[in-house]
Amino acid sequence: MEAIEELAVQPCTSSLYLRPFRLSYRQNGTKKFWDFMRTHDSVSILIFNTSRQCFVVVKQFRPAVYMCEVERHHPQAFQNQDKESFPSLENPLPAVVGVTYELCAGIVDKPGLSLEEIACEEVLEECGYRVSIADLRRITSYRSGVGVTGSRQTLFYAEVNDQMRTSGGGGQPEEGELIEVVEIPLGESMKFAYDETFPKTMGVIFSFTWFHNNIAPKLPKK
Tens-place pLDDT, residues 16-38: 889 999 999 999 999 999 999 99
Query: Is 155 a residue whose pLDDT tops 90?
Result: yes
Mean pLDDT of 161-168: 94
Q: pLDDT-based confidence at 116, cuts 50/70/90?
A: very high
pTM of the model: 0.91
158 φ, ψ to 5°? -140, 130
Confidence of residue 7 (pLDDT cuts 50, 70, 90): confident
Given this model, what pLDDT does residue 135 score? Answer: 97
Q: For residue 158, give its domain range.
A: 20-78+92-216
Classify residue 5: in a domain, yes or no. no
Least confident of 7-21, 59-73, 110-124, 137-151: 7-21
What CATH number has the domain bearing residue 105? 3.90.79.10
Average pLDDT score over residue span 94-118: 95
Q: Is 221 helix (H, G, I), strand (E, B) or coil?
A: coil
13: in domain = no
Instruction: Please give the pLDDT value at position 84.
Output: 57
In a domain, 222, yes or no: no
Residue 2 has pLDDT above 70, yes or no: no
- Would residue 122 count as lying in a domain? yes
Looking at the predicted structure, is the pLDDT value of residue 82 above 60?
Answer: no
Q: Collect all residues with Cβ–Cβ distance below 8 Å to 92 and sequence separation of at least 6.
A: 4, 5, 7, 70
Domain-embedded: residue 7: no
Q: Name which residue leads in pLDDT, 109 or 75.
A: 109
Contact 27, 138 (CB under 8 A): no
Q: Are 131 and 120 in contact (CB under 8 A)?
A: yes
Does 1 reside within a domain? no
Q: Is residue 29 part of a domain?
A: yes
Q: Is the pLDDT of residue 44 over 90?
A: yes
What is the number of domains present in the chain? Answer: 1
Whole-number Cα distances in Å, 148 to 18, 20, 35, 140: 11, 9, 7, 21
pLDDT of residue 90: 67
Residue 4 lies in a domain: no
